[in-house]
Amino acid sequence: MTTIAVLGTGAMGAPMARNLARAGNEVRAWNRTGEKAEPLRDDGVEVHHDPASAAAGADVVLTMLADAGPVLEIAEQASLQRGQIWWQASTIGIDGLDRCEHPAKRTGAVLVDAPVLGTRQPAEEGKLVVLASGPDEALDACAPLFDAVGSRTLRLGEAGNGTRLKLAVNTWVLAVTEGTAESIALAEALGLDPHRVIDALDGGGLDLPYFRMKANLMFERKFPPAFSLELAAKDARLVVEAAESHGADLAAARAIAQRMTEATEAGHGDEDMAAVYLLCLKR
């Protein structure tokens, strides 16, 4: 049995904590908004009111927070200890991960860079894909934890490679979402039944389950958040930042980051990222 502190119990952290507890681990949880963590008590999770008490003596400290700033702030408050494994699962970009290396070295904690692919439903079902990078010994120790939250784990070598692959995959996810929004909106603007877009792609190589899922939200114009537009816009900006700092010219990524940021500023940030479609509608 491993003792793991889950710091951040939002849409992803809470189901991950549940699945870790169901796998027989001793799980402690903390969340900045404490009432969001309280329901985890019913799943055998020990809820703490500050990061330090949650992390004290834990084998693994998992951070699942919105951005690099909160990750670094909470890691500092958690008082990481020598020999602890710091499983950094948040999507914070390359610069954000680089900034995590200093507190890890200063405290003697072992940094494991292992973000996950998937949204709320895969998190609840324990079907995330874990992009694990870091020292082999630490990855070996975390393997049962990765199995508890995910259906697959990719081991990618040194810390930082997990974050890099997450950015590359997110580029595709964001492009599919924006492409779906524009395809559906254009069909409507041209006077077509937008369901015909799905009919035309049915059974072909571009008939993606993800495309259908996002298109159905757009047809209904209801956007319960599997992954919020605000977080998608943040991730899109991280993609652009990584591309610009490494010499890649990603014109579509820049446009998607701008459009998702605009949609967030228009008041749709708490809705699913498919709500970017609302900015595409004929005016």
**Domain limits of the chain?**
3-157, 163-280
What pLDDT, in 10s, does the model give residues 212-261?
Answer: 999 999 999 999 999 999 999 999 999 999 999 999 999 999 999 999 99
What is the per-residue pLDDT for 283?
A: 67
163-280 has the same fold as 3-157: no
Torsion of CA 22, 24, 30, 31, to 10 degrees: -20
Please give the CATH number for the structural domain made up of 163-280.
1.10.1040.10
1 pLDDT band (50/70/90 cuts)?
confident
CB 280 within 8 A of CB 185: yes
What is the spatial distance between Cα 124 and Cα 113, in angstroms, rounded to a whole number?
21
Beta bridge partners of 62: 6, 87
Q: For position 182, what pLDDT does the model report?
A: 98
| C-beta contacts of 206-213 below 8 A and 24+ residues apart | 208/176, 210/173, 210/176, 211/176, 211/180
What does each C-alpha distance from 1 to 6, 30, 88, 230 come to in angstroms? Answer: 15, 20, 20, 36
Residues 57-87 have pLDDT tens digits of 999 999 999 999 999 999 999 999 999 999 9
**End-to-end alpha carbon distance in the chain:** 58
CATH of segment(s) 3-157 = 3.40.50.720
pTM, 2 dp: 0.94
